[in-house]
Chains A and B, each alone.
Chain A
Amino acid sequence: MSVLKIENYTKIYGGNKKACDNVSLSVESGDIFGFIGHNGAGKSTTIRAVVGVMDFDEGTIEIDGHDVRKEARECKKVTAYIPDNPDLYENLTGIQYLNFVADAFGISQAERKEKITDYAKRFGIADALKSLISSYSHGMKQKVAIIGALIHSPKLLVMDEPFVGLDPQAAFTLKEIMHEMCENGSAVFFSTHVLDVAERLCNKIAIIKKGKIIANGNVEELIGERTLEEVFLEAVKDE
């Protein structure tokens, strides 16, 4: 069974702007799935529908066999989302935010302590967790958002341009964590503009252009002897 299955997903903004047109793709357990496309192609529009922050018109999206519209809570229990802009509660401290998320997922005290301490150390943010989020830099907020997403060991991790703003060390750690998750049978679905990262990190890739999927499959099959950059530029070139 697929961890994430999108079928004929269509989103129309404000009654006339078709941002996603008949998008279908599926992410299996163990996949690191890269989602690439030009600015305004429809990546965030797809991702936001997957994680349930935005309603949509047509098609179905299933996470772990549950429909995101009909069984929203079942889906959310196994999903984690990191948005492109880490807008967190500015008036909470980092640790208060993480505790809040842990409460929402019903994580035990012992477990949250272990997870938070461990991830905070790996991302080098342990010393800042008692400070207000409003005092954080962009990257620090992002790290807290990532830790919050990992607290409940999600089956599906969905990220919108996760590498923007992370320092090289943190980007490395995040990639490491993505691999660990996949070894444990989870799946990662993320959008990115960094093509060489996508090429090395992902086993599957989809390219979206003006709301339509124009390429989708295993990385090796998709690019063959070329680089992902060449394939991408070729694919999005206007006819």
Chain B
Amino acid sequence: MNEQILLLKTMLTSSSNINVLRHSDDKKKRSMATGNIIGFGFIYLLLAMYTGGVSFGMSYFGLSESVPVLPATIIFALSFFLTLFKAHGILFGFKEIDLLMSMPFTVKNVVSSRFLFMYIENLKWTLVLSFSSLIGYIIGGRPSALSVIIWVVLTFFLPVIPMLVAALISALVGGIGAGFKHKNIVLTILTFILVIPLFFVRFFIEDTIKNNKIEEVVTGSADAFSNASDFIPTAKWFSDAVNDHSIPAIVLIFAISITAYEVFFFVFSKFYKRINSKLSESHTSKAKIKDKDFRAESVVMSICFKEAKRFTGSVTYMTNIGMGAVMSVVFGIAILFINVNKMISSMAGVEVDLSSVSASLVVPVLVYFFTGMVPSTACSMSLEGKNYWIIQTLPVKMMDVLKGKMLFNLFLFLPVGLFATVMSCISLKANFVEVIVALCFTITANLFSTTYGMLVGAKNMQLDWENEIQVIKQGRAVASYLLPNMLGTMFIGGGAVALGIAFKILPITIGLLSAVYLLLAILFYSRLNRQMLRN
């Protein structure tokens, strides 16, 4: 069998839920695996319904020319970001590396099979997105058979280029960071430095669109995507290929994907061993132990410290979970310079005048999207992994362990959330009541995300993972946190904001929302307390 396929097949089997279902008799493991499959299936279904619906709507209103750009853009952006945040953990420092390198595989095959593994994982939702959009497109727009065929075939190539760019970045970052003493920190900072400007590209695109005055929301989103295609080459080629059956566009997608793949892995494999072995070296110290090294702490603080070390010890953990904290800081600084009125108008799609309502109260809700995205508590239990025996054999209350973990999450997100909130209050010249409500909201919302994350994290503990990515990005706990929190914030938070603006009662609606978060936080906390007492 082809080396690459053999490697890939082994990776896929060792990490898939289906394998557990087929070979394990353990009922608990089996039901967890089933739960995983159902949970992710549900998310895919929602995604499919959404993109299918939008594509149908656009085609139906005679905008079918603009439909292909939609999935192509989303696939580009998502493939890029998702790969960027897991490439490091997949490409470097995996456990089987010594074993694989000792076997007669070429470095290129070992490394590229890891990439192909990410590609296959990525393909799951790429196909869901693309094909659901295609169905909407077919029903609403009645395209030619050739267009459909081109769409289907090219879909498989769409994620390749963005994923390769992400892998390239992560290889470069790895290469640069490998030489440093505190590698993980350097690697994480480098990644953020590269990623954060990209978020502003998005704002920049949005800004250029909004200056063109929009008539309708539908045309607006169509415009947004056709405009995006100027920035995203694969989206443009895909669109030209499907709409005009353009041969050059088709050839470009094929040729660039394949050439870039071959060239990247040819070069990367030459440097791979050096980078990887540098990355796996840990810092040693010859320093003598001093009295302060023996300082006694309370159990909760001690756990919190350990949690902080766990966080800073992993690039994957830091980039994925820390992203929200970094974004809040960036947002807090940016808010001093951007016109919030304009931004909110552009997000809502209609001109709103915020000068007479308490606009400073809208910002904390936006900030919560960052600080509450994924709390560390949602994955920190699972991240104990093979070390879980330590906690199990120590005579500490389980609740103290959880308290330490929750405390760490608050240390991570509360200060940055408060920073962004205060900045927005300054920038928007909030009055006393508004400042108090804004601060209350930020505090209670973070208490909510911390306790809710902890609850699902403790309930969906997954200890037998091979790679951190499995719990941080694909974990059941994270999945069961992400969706309810996001939808909840979108509908309830969005509702509170809309009502507040419409009736000029923002301090009241946001105040009520804070009360709801506080109540939920108390509820979750006491529920955790009760559950832990039983154990």
- How far, in whole Å, are A136 and B27 apart by their CA atoms in the complex? 37
Interchain CA distance A116-B290 in the complex, whole Å: 12
Query: How many of chain A's residues have a CB under 8 angstroms from any CB in B?
Result: 50
A17 at interface (Cβ–Cβ under 8 A)?
yes
Q: Which partner residue on chain B sits nearest A89 by CB separation? A: B387
CB <8 Å contact, A81 and B389: yes
Give A92's nearest chain B residue, CB to CB: B309
By a CB distance below 8 angstroms, the chain B residues around A14 are 24-27, 29
Select one of B26, B295, B314, B386 contacting A87, CB under 8 A. Answer: B386
- Interchain CB contact under 8 A, B395 and A91: no
CB neighbours of B389 from chain A (8 A): 51, 53, 81, 83, 87
When the two chains form their complex, are residues A52 and B289 in contact, meaning their CB atoms are under 8 A apart? no
Contact of B390 with A89 in the complex, beta carbons under 8 Å = yes
**Given A16-B25, A99-B294: A81 and B283 interface contact (C-beta under 8 Å):** no
Do A91 and B26 touch (CB < 8 A)?
Answer: no
Which B residues between 394 and 430 are near A, CB-CB below 8 angstroms?
394-397
Query: How far, in angstroms, from A52 to B391 measured CA to CA in the complex?
Result: 10
A112: interface (CB < 8 Å) = yes
User: Quick check: is A88 within 8 A (CB to CB) of the other chain?
Assistant: yes
Assess the B294–A89 pair: CB atoms within 8 A.
Answer: no
User: Which residues of chain B are within 8 angstroms of A95 by Cβ–Cβ distance?
Assistant: 289, 293-294
Contact call B26/A15, Cβ cutoff below 8 A:
yes
The reply to whether A87 and B309 form a contact with Cβ atoms under 8 Å apart is: no
With beta carbons under 8 angstroms apart, the residue of A79, A91, A130 that contacts B312 is A91
Q: Is A91 within 8 A of B289, CB to CB? A: no
Query: Is A172 close to B, CB under 8 A?
Result: no
Q: How far is the CA of A90 from the CA of B314 in the complex (A)?
A: 10
Q: Given B295, B298, B387, B394, which contacts A76 in the complex, CB threshold below 8 Å?
A: B394
| Inter-subunit contact B309/A51 (CB<8 Å) | no
Give which listed residue, A79, A112, A126, contacts B296 with CB less than 8 A: A112
Is B297 in the interface zone, CB < 8 Å from A? yes
**A17 to B287 Cα, complex, angstroms:** 50
- Cβ-closest chain A residue relative to B280: A134
In the bound complex, residues from chain B placing their C-beta under 8 Å from that of A93 are: 285
A residues near B301, Cβ cutoff 8 Å: 103
Does A113 reach chain B (CB closer than 8 Å)?
Answer: yes
The distance in angstroms between the C-alpha atoms of A3 and B251, with both chains bound, is: 76
Let me know if B98 is at the binding interface, CB within 8 A. no
- Complexed CA–CA distance, A91 and B282 (Å): 9
B286 at the interface (CB under 8 A from A): yes
Residues of B within 8 A of A92 (CB): 306, 309
The answer to whether B390 and A131 touch across the interface, beta carbons within 8 angstroms, is no
B283-A132 in contact (CB<8A): yes
B292-325 residues with Cβ-Cβ distance < 8 A to A are: 293-299, 301-302, 305-306, 309-310, 312-314
Q: Are B284 and A131 in contact (CB under 8 A)?
A: yes
Identify which of B302, B313, B388, B397 contacts A73 (C-beta below 8 A).
Answer: B397
Q: Mark A15-27, 1 if CB is under 8 A from B, else 0.
A: 1110000000000
Chain A nearest CB from B356 CB (Å) reads 52
**Contact status A108-B393, CB under 8 Å:** no
Distance to closest chain A CB from B447 (angstroms):
25
Q: A129 within 8 Å of B by Cβ?
A: yes
Instruction: Give the distance in Å from the alpha carbon of A9 to the alpha carbon of B253 in the complex.
Output: 64
Residue B291, interface by CB 8 Å? yes
Across the interface, do B393 and A51 meet the contact criterion of CB distance under 8 Å?
yes
* B residues with CB within 8 A of A: 24-27, 29, 281-289, 291, 293-299, 301-302, 305-306, 309-310, 312-314, 386-390, 392-397
Q: Identify 22 residue pairs between A and B in the complex whose beta-carbon atoms are under 8 Å apart, listed by A's number.
A: A15-B26, A17-B25, A53-B392, A79-B393, A87-B387, A89-B310, A91-B313, A96-B306, A96-B309, A99-B293, A101-B390, A101-B394, A102-B294, A102-B296, A103-B297, A103-B301, A103-B302, A109-B295, A113-B294, A116-B289, A117-B289, A131-B282
Further pairs besides A53-B393, A105-B395, A132-B284: 15, Cβ < 8 Å = A15-B26, A51-B389, A52-B392, A53-B389, A81-B389, A85-B386, A89-B306, A90-B313, A91-B312, A103-B296, A104-B396, A112-B294, A127-B286, A131-B285, A135-B283
6 tightest A-B CB contacts, nearest first: A91-B313, A14-B26, A135-B282, A103-B302, A76-B395, A131-B284
